[in-house]
Amino acid sequence: MIGVYLSGTGNTEHCIKKLVSLLDPPAITIPLESERVITEIIRNDIVVLGYPTQYSNAPYMVRNFISKNASLWKNKKIFCMATMGAFSGDGAGCTARILKKHGAVILGGLHIRMPDSVCDSKLLKKTKEQNKQILLNADRKIEQAAAMIREGNYPREGITFLSHLAGLFGQRLWFYGKTKGYSDRLKISSACIGCGICSSLCPMKNLSIVNGKAIPAGKCTMCYRCISSCPKQAITLLGTSVQEQCRYENYI
């Protein structure tokens, strides 16, 4: 077994590592952008795939990786985990359907609510104590799911037909334009000091430092990793100002 994840603010990383450690303690978990991710997927029969949902869709980086490496998935057993700030619908199903087309065996799906990670929006923001409770509930749900899986009963959240309809009509149809590809809407303000933290963290290598300022290249996967870590709060995406830098470690 191996855990593979895309995580911007640390939410999904925590969830995947916790689930995989409960199911198979020696198993490793690695980020999707790792240079050895393909090698490790080839070596393992079971893959636990985790990512945050965006408007009831999987991040384009995740969907693109699956499609570009179609031959990887034949006969692989995949369990899909989607994290979200509120509603997902079929967040797990968005990748499960693509994987199934490429010959994967879908074991199940799991949806985990985590603190909101959209740093430049006031929507869904909670107090620190409320977020701590969300984390406690998430950990409890992961532990319950692991107990079920060890008995051979895989959760099927987000991969049923009704879930598909909920995700499709609940958000994805209305916001598909935001998730159909990489975004070119990342904005860098004059507060940028060219420290290079964002460029070192970006899973897409979308940011570079030119003449002492961060410059985006139009391939943002909307993970919010750079925005949540910029020391000057100089980066925005969907909003116009940083409301909160939503890193997982802020709530533990």
Provide the residue ranges of all domains of the chain, joining segments of one domain with +.
Answer: 2-179, 187-251
Instruction: Return the pLDDT at 87.
Output: 86
187-251 belongs to CATH 3.40.190.10: no
**pLDDT value for 32:** 98
* Across 89-116, average pLDDT: 97
Give the mean model confidence (pLDDT) for residues 86-107: 96
88: confidence class by pLDDT, cuts 50, 70, 90: confident
What homologous superfamily does CATH list for 2-179? Flavodoxin domain (3.40.50.360)
With cut-offs at 50, 70 and 90, classify the pLDDT of residue 50. Answer: very high
Amino acid 11: pLDDT: 97
Region 227-251: what's the mean pLDDT?
A: 95
How many other β-carbons are positioned within 10 Å of the β-carbon of residue 129?
A: 9
pLDDT at 24 > cutoff 90: yes
Beta bridge partners of 4: 30, 49
* Mean pLDDT value of segment 206-223: 96
Q: Is the pTM of this model over 0.85?
A: yes
Distance CA 242, CA 252 (A): 21
The mean of the pLDDT values for the chain is 96
Residue 58: which of 16, 12, 123, 21 has the closest Cα? 12
- Asked whether 100 and 75 are in contact (CB, 8 A), the reply is no
Higher pLDDT, 12 or 176: 12
Give pLDDT, residue 176: 87
pLDDT above 90: residue 252? no
- Does the pLDDT of residue 20 top 90, yes or no? yes
